[in-house]
């Protein structure tokens, strides 16, 4: 999962902060307990000593360590029992002063070997949603709050179905795509239709659900994406060039890219080559993409090269949006 470096950095900082906070709480509790029952401090020092003795006995050469280890273990258990009694006497459980990791799988490191642990993945997902919320209103946009009642039940001219019937199907595809991400029949979606029909809303719903399930998600508008590809090409040196290279790597390598408002950009040879690189690279590497556009596939074919259209038409499942502009409907209801 290719999380954005900034997202990963913030998640690691949170993990470290939480670990330090737990350690500080245990230290404070330990100091209070030692103040109430000084014998506990001596017991803890003795217990630490028995662990060192066990290691030394196990490594001792020239004699059998079995008897020595057994004697040390018996002593260790006696000390633990006395410690538990003393802790109970001041109202604490026997493990209250133990510095236990919150995640036993990784010991609060965030990694299990070279693999990211689920605890760090969860923090990355939270930080990623926070990042996405800068561009998408994820506070309100979710599959649970999507409203079908804005779509007319009257058959739409030339479509053979009503906007409501169509959106019920579109909603189900988007919901299943997000919930079964990576396992759903369609790997790539092309959301096509006029403005104000819910394309960005459903894109945000997909982004939220896929993020919450632990995958890396990048959302951006076509104009911003192509501007970064342009900066990568013409500003090779300096901070802007490095930032552009980082951004384009994010677009190419994240688990899910949501490219919004394709067709709003100025069509140039550079945008054509950038779109081809983006679409083709992600297809070759098996990464999923959702594109939303006011263009139909027929309109896109007049705008983009045959190489691009071959991939869009062959590898993307088109979801058609039609009906009355929801923004205008909401405005009239105010």
pLDDT for res 56: 62
Distance CA 238, CA 299 (A): 38
Distance CA 214, CA 125 (A): 6
CB 202 within 8 A of CB 305: no
**pLDDT: which is higher, 38 or 132:** 38
Whether residue 238 is predicted with pLDDT greater than 70 in this model: the reply is: no
Domain boundaries along the sequence of the chain: 5-111, 133-333
3-state secondary structure 293-316: ECCCHHHHHHHCCHHHHHHHHHHC
Residue 39 sits at φ, ψ, to 5 deg, of -60, -25
3-state secondary structure 107-173: CCCCEECCEECHHHHHHHHHHHHHHHCCCCCCCCCCHHHCCHHHCCCCCCCCCCCCHHHHHHHHHHH
CB 226 within 8 A of CB 268: no
Span 209-234, pLDDT tens digits: 998 888 889 888 899 899 888 888 77
Distance CA 268, CA 16 (A): 46
Average pLDDT over every residue of 90-94: 88
CB 43 within 8 A of CB 83: yes
pLDDT for res 274: 93
Average pLDDT over every residue of 247-251: 86
Containing 13, the helix (H) or strand (E) segment is helix 5-36
Average pLDDT over every residue of 196-210: 91
Strands (E), 141-285: 188-192, 217-221, 256-262
Whether residue 69 is predicted with pLDDT greater than 90 in this model: the reply is: no
Whether residue 76 is predicted with pLDDT greater than 60 in this model: the reply is: yes
Average pLDDT over every residue of 161-165: 93
Distance CA 236, CA 193 (A): 37
pLDDT for res 239: 63
Average pLDDT over every residue of 85-100: 86
Distance CA 42, CA 15 (A): 32
Provide the 10 A C-beta neighbour count for residue 158: 6
Span 115-135, pLDDT tens digits: 888 888 888 888 877 777 766
pTM of the model: 0.73
Whether residue 112 is predicted with pLDDT greater than 90 in this model: the reply is: no
Average pLDDT over every residue of 319-330: 85
Distance CA 9, CA 21 (A): 18
The fraction of the chain above a pLDDT of 90, given in percent, is 32
Question: Among 1-15, 103-117, 159-173, 230-244, which is the least confidently predicted range?
Answer: 230-244
> What's the length of the chain?
334
Span 9-25, pLDDT tens digits: 888 888 998 888 988 89
pLDDT for res 8: 85
Provide the 10 A C-beta neighbour count for residue 265: 18
Whether residue 63 is predicted with pLDDT greater than 60 in this model: the reply is: no
pLDDT for res 108: 85
Average pLDDT over every residue of 77-90: 86
Distance CA 31, CA 276 (A): 63
Whether residue 61 is predicted with pLDDT greater than 60 in this model: the reply is: no
Categorize the per-residue pLDDT at 93 as very low, low, confident or very high, splitting at 50, 70 and 90: confident
Distance CA 186, CA 13 (A): 36
Q: For 133-333, which CATH superfamily applies?
A: P-loop containing nucleotide triphosphate hydrolases (3.40.50.300)
Interacting residues of 8 by C-beta distance below 8 A, sequence separation 6+: 124
Residue 144 sits at φ, ψ, to 5 deg, of -70, -25
Task: Give percent helix, percent strand, percent coil of the chain, each to the nearest 5.
Answer: 60, 10, 30
Span 255-302, pLDDT tens digits: 999 999 999 888 899 999 999 999 999 999 999 999 999 999 999 999
Categorize the per-residue pLDDT at 46 as very low, low, confident or very high, splitting at 50, 70 and 90: confident
pLDDT for res 247: 82
Categorize the per-residue pLDDT at 243 as very low, low, confident or very high, splitting at 50, 70 and 90: confident
């Amino acid at each position: 999962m290719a999380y954005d470096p900034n997202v990963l950095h913030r998640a690691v900082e949170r993990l470290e902060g939480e670990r330090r906070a737990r350690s500080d709480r245990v230290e404070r509790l330990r100091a209070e307990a030692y103040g109430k029952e000084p014998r506990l401090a001596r017991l803890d020092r003795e217990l630490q000593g028995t662990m060192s003795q066990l290691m030394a006995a196990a490594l001792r050469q020239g004699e059998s360590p079995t008897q020595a280890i057994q004697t040390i273990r018996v002593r260790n258990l006696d000390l633990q029992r006395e410690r538990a009694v003393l802790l109970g006497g001041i109202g604490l459980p026997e493990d209250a002063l133990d510095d236990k990791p919150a995640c036993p799988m990784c010991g609060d490191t965030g990694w299990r070997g070279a693999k990211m642990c689920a605890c760090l993945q969860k923090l990355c997902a939270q930080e990623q949603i926070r990042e996405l919320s800068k561009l998408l209103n994820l506070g309100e946009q979710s599959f649970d709050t999507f409203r079908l009642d804005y779509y007319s039940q009257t058959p739409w001219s030339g479509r053979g179905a009503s906007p409501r019937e169509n959106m019920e199907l579109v909603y189900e595809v988007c919901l299943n795509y997000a919930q079964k991400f990576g396992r759903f029949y369609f790997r790539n979606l092309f959301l096509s239709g006029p403005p104000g029909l819910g394309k960005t809303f459903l894109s945000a719903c997909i982004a939220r659900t896929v993020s919450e399930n632990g995958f890396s998600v990048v959302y951006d508008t076509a104009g911003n994406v192509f501007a970064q590809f342009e900066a990568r090409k013409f500003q090779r040196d300096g901070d802007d060039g490095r930032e552009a290279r980082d951004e384009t790597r994010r677009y190419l390598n994240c688990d899910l890219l949501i490219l919004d408002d394709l067709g709003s950009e100025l069509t140039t040879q550079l945008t054509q080559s950038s779109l081809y690189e983006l679409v083709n690279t992600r297809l070759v590497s098996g990464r999923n993409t959702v594109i939303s556009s006011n263009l139909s596939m027929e309109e896109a074919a007049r705008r983009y090269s045959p190489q691009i259209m071959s991939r869009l038409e062959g590898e993307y499942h088109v979801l058609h949006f039609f009906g009355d502009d929801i923004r205008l409907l909401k405005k009239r209801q105010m």
